[in-house]
Amino acid sequence: MAPSFDEGNALFDFVVQKGNGVKGLVDNGIKMVPQRYIQPPKERIDKKNTNSNDQLLLEAIDLSKLHAPEHDQVVGAISMAAETLGFFQVVNHGVTLELLESLKASAHNFFAQPSMNKAVYLKGVSPSPLVKDVALEYLKSSTKLVKELLEILFGNLGVTLDEAKFESLTGLKMVNMNFYPSCPNPELTVGVGRHSDMGTLTVLLQDGIGGLYVLEEGHVEEGKDGWIEIPPIPGALVINVGDTMQILSNGRYKSAEHRVRTTSSESRVSVPLFATPTPSEKIGPLPQLVESDGVAHYKEVLFGDYMQNFFGKAHEGKKSLQFAQNDSA
Ligand SMILES: O=C(O)CCC(=O)C(=O)O
Ligand SMILES: [Fe+2]
């Protein structure tokens, strides 16, 4: 019989301390999600209640057209997406399709190892040799992409992004590999609860399973809950605006709440790259925008303090931004 994980520290010990992860539970044959992972009804993801697809928002933006007569339309589409949904997808982004496939395969290979091999790779140690080379390659080729996108987003605000500013906003880059095992009761739980990303921009590779949902702020269709699925598009990368970019742009760009559903049939992998400032950077609204807006919606904060607050609290959507909110504005 599969062991019960509903008592004491057994769950934490098995999943976290021993490095089995949630995958270990599934491999162990659990038939029911442990009590600890059951979400209150308002946090559960019901496909029927989500906003129906707004095609325009979800079509992938073809970055090869940045060097074609359609340049201005592409810039317009990126800027609009960052100002509204805070999420968009890009194709012809300069990261090869071969590398995208290797990243997904490496994530599966890593997570297929016995747990004792994985336990040493809990946060803060150098990456496993199984993923290191592809992760470094991803870091390298997506840095160009992040720069191109930030130049566009800054240009749209009327501000030039020089090398020093780019470095200060993306000095810390982290590649994560997420594994969402198939789940016996996907309707009762979530893969990742709602949160916003704290950095400047996130580049996310998702596989073909689907399940990434974004909250459309201020747009709730009748009888729906306001969430919209970012559909998997072969060869595309998902880009999302992080809290830092929302602060910097004095609120113009949206760091959207997002969350991930699990499924009962297949396991899913995703590989985000987070481009964030280093902890010693100060972040605050760009002075040019404060001047033109006549108000600073956020105060200047040390990014290290922002990070500490972000990780120090259980996530509740995008409440992390309150740390930098300017109460007098
Ligand atoms: O798995 C995904 O699609 C998204 C993961 C995510 O939001 C994150 O790692 O911050
Ligand atoms: Fe995220």
Query: Is pLDDT at 155 greater than 80 in this prediction?
Result: yes
**What local confidence, expressed as pLDDT, does residue 329 receive?**
63
**What local confidence, expressed as pLDDT, does residue 1 receive?**
45
The secondary structure of residue 15, as a DSSP letter, is: I
Closest ligand 1 atom to residue 206 Cα is 3
Task: Please state the rounded mean pLDDT for residues 306-313.
Answer: 87
Task: Please state the rounded mean pLDDT for residues 33-61.
Answer: 73
Number of the ligand closest to the Cα of 206:
1
Is the predicted ipTM greater than 0.90, yes or no?
Answer: yes
Task: Please state the rounded mean pLDDT for residues 287-309.
Answer: 96
Rounded Cα distance, 291 and 295, in Å: 7
**What local confidence, expressed as pLDDT, does residue 223 receive?**
64
The secondary structure of residue 59, as a DSSP letter, is: S
C-alpha dihedral (273, 278, 326, 313), degrees to nearest 10: 70
Task: Please state the rounded mean pLDDT for residues 214-224.
Answer: 75
For the chain, what percent of residues have pLDDT higher than 70? 87
Considering only residues 313 and 55, tell me which one the structure prediction assigns the higher pLDDT: 313
The beta strands (E) that lie in the chain are given as 61-62, 87-91, 172-175, 178-180, 192-195, 201-206, 212-215, 227-229, 237-241, 258-260, 268-276, 282-283, 301-302
Structure tokens at 198: 């704290």
Burial of 162 (0-12, 13-18, 19+ CB in 10 A): exposed
Rounded Cα distance, 272 and 185, in Å: 25
Closest ligand 1 atom to residue 176 Cα is 9
Q: Residues with Cβ within 6 A of ligand 1?
A: 176, 178, 192, 197, 204, 206, 212, 258, 260, 270, 272
Least confident span in 23-32, 203-212, 237-246: 23-32
Rounded Cα distance, 311 and 325, in Å: 17
pTM of the model: 0.88
Q: How confident is the model at residue 53 (pLDDT cuts 50, 70, 90)?
A: low
**215 near 257, Cβ under 8 Å?**
yes
Task: Please state the rounded mean pLDDT for residues 283-296.
Answer: 97
Rounded Cα distance, 149 and 63, in Å: 10
Long-range own/partner contacts, residues 322-328 (CB < 8 A, 24 or more apart): 324/243, 324/247, 324/283, 324/284, 324/298, 324/299, 325/297, 325/298, 325/299, 326/296, 326/297, 326/298, 326/299
Span from the CA of 297 to the centroid of ligand 2 (angstroms): 23
Ligand 1 pocket mutation, candidates 212, 215, 237, 241, criterion most atoms within 8 A of CB: 212
Rounded Cα distance, 211 and 208, in Å: 9
Query: Is pLDDT at 52 greater than 60 in this prediction?
Result: yes
CA 27 vs CA 22, 31, 188, 193, 211: distances in Å: 9, 11, 19, 22, 21
Task: Please state the rounded mean pLDDT for residues 158-164.
Answer: 95
Of 58, 61, 319, 88, residue with least CA distance to 202: 88
Structure tokens at 315: 């996530």
Across the chain, mean pLDDT equals: 87
**What local confidence, expressed as pLDDT, does residue 33 receive?**
78
Structure tokens at 178: 């997420």
Query: Is pLDDT at 306 greater than 50 in this prediction?
Result: yes
Task: Please state the rounded mean pLDDT for residues 28-35.
Answer: 76
**What local confidence, expressed as pLDDT, does residue 4 receive?**
63
Span from the CA of 209 to the centroid of ligand 1 (angstroms): 13
